[in-house]
Structure 1
Amino acid sequence: MRVWAVANQKGGVGKTTTSIALAGLLADAGKRVVVVDLDPHGSMTSYFGHDPDSLEHSTFDLFLNQGNVPEGLPQQLLLPTSHERISLLPSSTALATLERQSPGQNGLGLVVSKSLAQLWGDFDHAIIDSPPLLGVLMVNALAASQQLVIPVQTEFLAVKGLERMVSTLAMINRSRRQALPFTIVPTLFDRRTQASMTTLRQLRNSYPENLWQAYIPVDTRLRDASRAGVTPSQFDHKSRGALAYKALLKHLLEQHVREKVA
């Protein structure tokens, strides 16, 4: 199983849309995909028609056993989605209490890794949607992943958020045996605005080695897909947003091949 995390310490940059769009395209290609919602806001869970405020069981349950994950628990938590090849490990608002409960508990940083290990033979890909703040949930996402995708809205304040995210990644890498490769993805790009054009140039100048050189455009069809509760490629596979995500997926898969060769 290939595990990707989608993360940024700034909200509103397109993390959930990116996670679901990539999962949908992988599923369209016949892959079995599990999406993991670690954001207490539960945007991904809501996207697929489940209510994070009323769910009795969620990813929160994975953290209730002092860092241990009971055998079979991840499978029990899986929920269906609009795509037959995508399963969801849902979020609930209870995750918001985890930071207060975690001090003094050892081993909580590897809970998601241990959970995905139990699902290893059942899925080809796992995509983790992370919360927009540094804490035990983001640490779990980064510890479990083999590739990090960092969506960055093409506006001035988002660049500051990216700087914090890259700093966090450097800190996490010091505790990993191997540095976590990452790809920066410009999102919500609108060529009609000076902010988008200037920010894209700044990203290309500052992060030439880690930046995906294309971008995800502003596209109302992405919002329409969210309202319908289906992946962007299910809703309109020829939309500008869906085609852009298809190009991004191709880039990420080719990057994986290059890393294996290296």
Structure 2
Amino acid sequence: MHVWSIANQKGGVGKTTSVVSLGALLAEQGHRVLLFDLDPQGSLTSYFGHNPDEIPHSAFDLFMNQGKIPDDVLSNVIIKTTVDGMNMIPASTALATLERNVSQQEGMGLVVSKTLAKLWDDYDYALIDTPPLLGVLLINSLAACKKLLVPVQTEFLALKGLERMVNTIAMVMRSQKRDVDYIVIPTMFDRRTQASIKTLKTLREQHEGHIWHSAIPVDTKLRDASREGKAISQLDHNSRGARAYSLLLKTLLGQE
């Protein structure tokens, strides 16, 4: 199984859209895909029509078993999405209480890793949607992944958020005594504005060697897809957003 985490310590940069878009494209290629929602806000869960305030089983169940995950818990937690071949472990708002209740318990930083280990032969790819805060949930996602995707909105305020994220990556990797391959993904790029153009130029200068060569453009079809609970490739595979995510996936898979 290939495990990718999609993370940034700034919200509203396109994390959930990237998880859904890339996951759907992988599923359309015939891969077995699992999406993992670790954000207490539950944007990924809501994307597919589930209420994080009311969902009966979620990622929270995995943490409540203190890292020991019975098979019946896993079977209850995994649900289907609107994309064939793509399932999901949803989030509940109860995840927000983990920091206070269980973060100091032994093994809490490896719950996601242990979960994916039990599912290793069932899926080809797992994509993890993360919260925008450094804590036990983000630590779990970084510990589990082999590739880290960092979406960054192409506007100046996002640059500081990226700086914090890169520092967090370095800190966590030092504590875990390993490296993680990360790639910065410029999002919401609007070639009509100088702010977007200048921010993209700055990103490429400051993160040379770790930044995708293209960008995800502003595209209202991405918002339309979210509203309908579909991936952009399901709604309009010829849209600018769908073509951009297809190009990104080729880069991530080393096909270009």
Instruction: Tell me which interval the TM-score lies in, with the shorter structure as reference length.
Output: over 0.9
With structure 2 as the length reference, what TM-score do the two structures score? 0.97
Q: Is contact 1:236–1:242 with CA below 8 Å preserved after alignment?
A: yes
SS at match of 1:162: helix
SS at match of 2:53: coil
| Pairs aligned (count) | 256
Q: Give how far 1:162 is off.
A: 0.2
**Distance (whole Å) between structure 1 residues aligned to residue 57 and residue 192 of structure 2:** 44
Matches within 5 A, 1:54-69: 54-69=54-69
Matches within 5 A, 1:172-251: 172-251=172-251
What corresponds to 1:157 in structure 2? 157
Q: Deviations over 1:154-212 (max 9, x none)?
A: 00010000000000000111133430000000000001111101100000100110000
What corresponds to 2:139 in structure 1? 139
**Distance (whole Å) between structure 2 residues aligned to residue 133 and residue 90 of structure 1:** 18
AA matched with 1:18:
S
Where structure 1 has 5 or more consecutive residues not aligned to the other structure, the ranges are 258-262
Q: Is contact 1:74–1:119 with CA below 8 Å preserved after alignment?
A: no
AA matched with 2:244:
A
With structure 1 as the length reference, what TM-score do the two structures score? 0.95
Matches within 5 A, 1:85-96: 85-96=85-96
Q: Give how far 1:76 is off.
A: 2.4
AA matched with 1:133:
L
CA RMSD of aligned residues (A): 1.3
What corresponds to 1:17 in structure 2? 17
Where structure 2 has 5 or more consecutive residues not aligned to the other structure, the ranges are none
The yes-or-no answer on 1:171 pairing with 2:171 is yes
- Moved >6 Å (runs of 4+): none
SS at match of 2:196: helix
AA matched with 1:144:
A
Quote the sequence identity (%).
58
